[in-house]
Amino acid sequence: MEPGNDTQISEFLLLGLSEELELQPLLFGLFLSMYLITVCGNLLIILATISDSHLHTPMYFFLSNLSFADICFTSTTVPKMLVNIQTQSKVITYAGCITQMFFFILFAGVDDFLLTVMAYDRYVAICHPLHYMVIMNPWLCGKLILASWTMSALYALLHSLMVLRLSFRPHVEILHFYCDLSKVVHLACSDTFLNDMVIYSASVLLGGGPLTGIFYSYCKIVSSIRAISSAQGKYKAFSTCASHLLVVSLFYCTSLGVYLSAGAAHSSHSSAAASVMYTVVTPMLNPFIYSLRNKDIKKALKRLLGGKVY
């Protein structure tokens, strides 16, 4: 079969998390609540970092970009799911599916790269504190953000173009609440060997690469913290990267859980339910993790909301 969408498929069916009608109102209310919390929480982080001059530093510049990426990341999947539940429709157009897939991969990639950039920022702050503002200058910070978005966009574009070459049978049903790349590829009726090779190769490079960078940064950070003589100094140094380390652990552990569950349950809703953790829950928790463990963010939020700061 020649590459291309020979069947002229116009739509897919997203089966969602459950097909039981009595569960749909519960799912709608639950995901609407989580989505609103995610958007409001991350938006408050962005507004706090913009409005408070004390937070105009590289660390909070990267944090505000992560919050923006989290809002966009969740917005690629949850609104469509809510619309489908409300209208009792499972349909997503072919073009809509490819578009959703592109933006999902884009924002997931941006999240991944930003977490690596933030690890490097913490490495410079702890290991080279006297040269921090010189190394992490606005020009470098801008280039790191631009590189994160550019590489993620190219990564997403590659996968989207690879899917466009595939052919599908009519009435394709996707056991998910969004157009997951691996599930869509495996539903194709044409040869997917090249797609699988690109998926695995890109995952190793763009998944393993950032994770290696984070691991290396924290090895250096731990080494520097151990060299600090006072217990108070060690605690202060560690507290500056504790929130980031927690977010990294949450992001990678939930992502790994999704792929392990996907491998163990191809024909069930298990992998779709597991993916809720890193597509919805993790972006929702990030603002709480950073605000609850960070005094500067707390003060900025109080100023933003009109409260007194002591």
pLDDT at 243: 84
pLDDT value, residue 38: 95
What structural domains and CATH numbers belong to the chain?
A: 11-304 (1.20.1070.10)
- Of 147, 138, 73, nearest in space to 114 by CA: 147
Averaged pLDDT, 162-176: 87
164-173, 206-215, 269-278: least confident range: 269-278
The pTM (predicted TM-score) of the whole model is 0.90
**Please, what is the average pLDDT of the chain?**
86
DSSP single-letter state for residue 281: I
Q: What's the mean pLDDT in 170-186? A: 88
pLDDT digits (tens, 9 = 90+) for 32-83: 999 999 999 999 999 999 988 888 999 999 999 999 999 999 999 999 999 9
Give the pLDDT score at 45.
93
Report the pLDDT averaged over residues 172-197: 89
What is the secondary structure of 43-101 as a DSSP string?
HHHHHHHHH-GGG-SHHHHHHHHHHHHHHHHHHTTHHHHHHHHHHT--EEEHHHHHHHH
Position 263 scores a pLDDT of: 53
- Residue 268, classified by CB atoms within 10 Å of its CB into exposed (0-12), middle (13-18) or buried (19+), is exposed
- Is the pLDDT assigned to residue 262 strictly greater than 90? no
Mean pLDDT of 129-153: 94
Q: Residue 301: which pLDDT band, with cuts at 50, 70 and 90?
A: confident
Classify residue 303 as exposed, middle or buried by CB count within 10 Å of its CB (0-12, 13-18, 19+).
middle
Instruction: Name the percent of the chain lying above pLDDT 70.
Output: 91
**Distance from C-alpha of 162 to C-alpha of 198, rounded to nearest angstrom:** 9
Radius of gyration (Cα) for the chain, nearest Å? 21
Q: How confident is the model at residue 261 (pLDDT cuts 50, 70, 90)?
A: low
